[in-house]
Structure 1
Amino acid sequence: MDGMENLMPREKMLQYGIETLTDVELLALFLRVGTRRQDVLSYAQALLQRFGSLYALLSADKAQLIAVDGLGLAKYAQLKGIAELARRYFSSQLVEEAALVTPSMTREFFTKPADGRGARDLYGDLFR
């Protein structure tokens, strides 16, 4: 995969597959542009460093996100849109596929809520 490190995220994804993208590259793919001071890859890296993980970034509230230099309402909407899309994807998995037929599917479904809420908030009724 020579030259893969020199490709921008979209080109890398198209040539080598989405699974080859790092968290920084995947975030940059959705952000599309950086700031006046940082290109999109540097900006995505800075966001992940500030929040510590994709989960923490996508779980952050509006005040936390728009407090970040260069992150206004448009990028806030993009990030919250990503989280909601992921949440709906995992929710629809129960309808579209054989629901939670293996222990690993069950673990992944219940331990990776995409909208930032903990498993107790999302699935509390199941555990009462």
Structure 2
Amino acid sequence: MSFYRIKDLPESDRPREKLLKLGAENLTDAEIIAILLRTGIKGKNVIDLAREILIHFKGIEGLSEASINELSHFKGLGKTKAITLKAAIEVGRRAGKTKEKRKIDSPEAVATLLDHLKYEKVEIFGTVTLNIKGELINIHNITKGGANFSHISPKEVFHPAIKDLAVAVIFFHNHPSGEPAPSKEDIYITEKLTKAAKLLDIEVLDHIIIGRESFFSFKENNLL
């Protein structure tokens, strides 16, 4: 069986070279995972394998919660790679304890936080909850797979924010088509939920739509 290694990729697509040139903070979640995995599997390069892992485990957060057994049974991982991933995640967890909470102060910061959504094949709508300092509290997926979420209940959307004692939220969803431009339904639901948020004394800071190559900010485009 032949394996696809990072060095088998075109140089412009190699995450190690990108890390050296641009810094680790400018790599996507998939590229970081690919560096840890080192090799893909027959018929699938390491970047594609990393993307599938992120989709299966619902991003870095889900990956961090998976057990060694769950990871090692994913096709293309095995026990050795599963252990490598768990060790790397633990390093990040311990390092995070020594730092301040992550501040979300721009649409770019939100898009980076939700980078894994660009690989989803179904639409996911959710909220990012923030404290009074603009720091991340949590990420909540509210709906998944619906073709139209215009009838979503404000109660369903804001329940997690109330539970988090959040003072502000950022709505988000992805467009599996890859094009981030908002639809009429996207604009409608944003207006509807923003009105509901005012009654709860929760500030809506933005609504970010994640596309394949870019994102759309309601705030930056004067739609909020």
CA RMSD of aligned residues (A): 2.3
Which residue matches 1:65?
71
Q: Secondary structure at the match of 1:69?
A: coil
1:80 aligns with 2:110: no
Shift of 1:48: 0.9
Q: Aligned partners of 1:35, 1:54: CA distance in 2, in Å?
A: 21
Name the TM-score, length of structure 2 as normaliser: 0.39
Q: Deviation digits for residues 53-79 of structure 1, max 9, x if unmatched?
A: 111012111222122112111111111
**Residue 33 of structure 2 corresponds to which residue in structure 1?**
27
What is the aligned partner in structure 2 of residue 38 from structure 1? Answer: 44
Structure-1 residue corresponding to 2:196:
none
Shift of 1:39: 1.2
TM-score relative to the length of structure 1: 0.65
Structure 2: segments with no counterpart, 5+ residues:
1-10, 101-131, 140-224
- The Cα of 1:111 is off from its aligned counterpart by 4.8
Contact 2:71 2:77 in 1 (8 A): yes
Q: Are 2:68 and 2:83, in contact at CA under 8 Å, matched by a contact in 1?
A: no
Q: Deviations over 1:20-41 (max 9, x none)?
A: 2111111112211112332110
| 1:9 alignment partner, one of 6, 15, 18 | 15
Larger proportion of helix: 1
State the alpha-carbon separation in 2 of the partners of residues 39 and 50 from structure 1.
Answer: 17
Q: Which residue of 1 aligns with 2:61?
A: 55
Paired residues, number: 98
Query: In structure 1, which of residues 3, 18, 24 is the aligned counterpart of residue 24 of structure 2?
Result: 18
| Pairs within 5 Å for 1:87-98 | 87-93=93-99
Partner of 1:103: 133
| Corresponding letter in the other structure for 2:77 | L
Structure number having the greater strand percentage: 2
- 2: CA distance between counterparts of 1:24 and 1:46? 9
Q: Which amino acid aligns with 2:89?
A: A
**Which structure carries more relative contact order (alpha carbon 8 Å, separation 6+)?**
1
Gaps spanning 5+ residues in structure 1: where? 95-101, 113-128
What is the Cα deviation at residue 49 of structure 1? 1.4
Structure ID, larger Rg: 2
Identical amino acids, percent of aligned pairs: 33
- In 1, are the aligned partners of 2:30 and 2:54 still within 8 Å (CA)? yes
The 2-side partners of 1:86 and 1:19 are apart by 13
